Amino acid sequence: MAGLVGCHISLSYEPMIASLRSIAQRSVPAFMCLAAVASATAAEIDERSPELFKEWKGANEQRVAPYERFLEQRQALGTVPMHQLLRTSFDWRKEACRKVSAPPFDVPPDESWDRMAATLRLVSELRATGSLPDYEVVSAYRTPTVNKCSSSKSDRHIKNAALDLVFSDASAMEAATLRLCTFFWRDGEPRSMGLGFYGKSHKWPYGRIHIDTLRYQTWGPDTKRDTSPCLRVARVHRAR
């Protein structure tokens, strides 16, 4: 696995550096190069890049292809890029997960595919209604073993019903929180929307948001309803 990661780093950064070099050669002011670096970094927060996925997929094509066909039939293919949709735990490289050989990506069992199709339908609706700003999926399906070694342990990921999202900065996270909570109170119940919020960490300085379609429920960093920021949003709405 270490070889894969090394390969991913060189594949990810070389084209970027080459393109920056070519920008510099055209005498563009330095601040524009810095902006290019910032946006290239912001484009993918998690280290499991499309290049790493391509390499992994090469050895797992026979498992990936039927899932892609299923999602295509359900008109859910492409809602989330495949290299994000198959990301397991974002702790996959931590010692506890390395001990159980947690892979960077995995294909869920086929009996669970319908659940993810439902969650992707919700994500499409959230995007269409402007309730979800640009995001990146950092965890979807996790086996029970991988779930156990993760710092985040919701069993909704074992059921392949959940997505953990991160955002590029604090204001995007804030906008997502407000919009998703508004959607949750207004339209979440008939969609069995689960909406969880996890606190800031070294890896995710703006926190994370969990979405699923298993049960209508919201929770905050301690997994209790009382700490969900949606309760604050509800109060704001009531005050108006």
CB of 219: closest distance to Zn ion in angstroms? 10
Which window, 8-16, 18-26, 124-132, 208-216, contacts Zn ion (CB under 5 A)?
Answer: 208-216
Q: Which residues does 214 contact at the CB level (< 8 Å), separation at least 6?
A: 115, 156, 159, 161, 162, 192, 194
CB of 143 to Zn ion, least distance (A): 15
- Closest to Zn ion by CB, 20 or 86: 86
Q: Which segments within 2-95 are labelled E, that is strand?
A: none
Q: Are 218 and 228 in contact (CB under 8 A)?
A: yes
Single out the residue of 133, 164, 184, 204 in contact with Zn ion (rule: CB under 5 A): 164
Residue 141, judged by CB atoms within 10 A of its CB (0-12, 13-18, 19+), counts as buried
Helix 30-43, helix 2-25: angle, nearest 10: 150
Residue nearer to Zn ion on the CB measure, 33 or 214: 214
From residue 125 to residue 154, what is the string marking binding to Zn ion with x (rule CB under 5 A)?
-----------------------------x
- Transcribe 104-132 into DSSP letters: SB-PPPGGGHHHHHHHHHHHHHHHHTT-S
Closest distance of CB 138 from Zn ion, Å? 9
Decide: is 91 part of the binding site for Zn ion (CB under 5 A).
no
* Residue closer to Zn ion (CB basis): 20 or 195: 195
Q: Which CB, 116 or 162, lies closer to Zn ion?
A: 162
Contact predicate 53/82, CB 8 Å = yes
210 binds Zn ion (CB under 5 A): yes
Residue 153: CB minimum distance to Zn ion, A:
9
- Binding residues for Zn ion (CB under 5 A): 154, 162, 164, 210
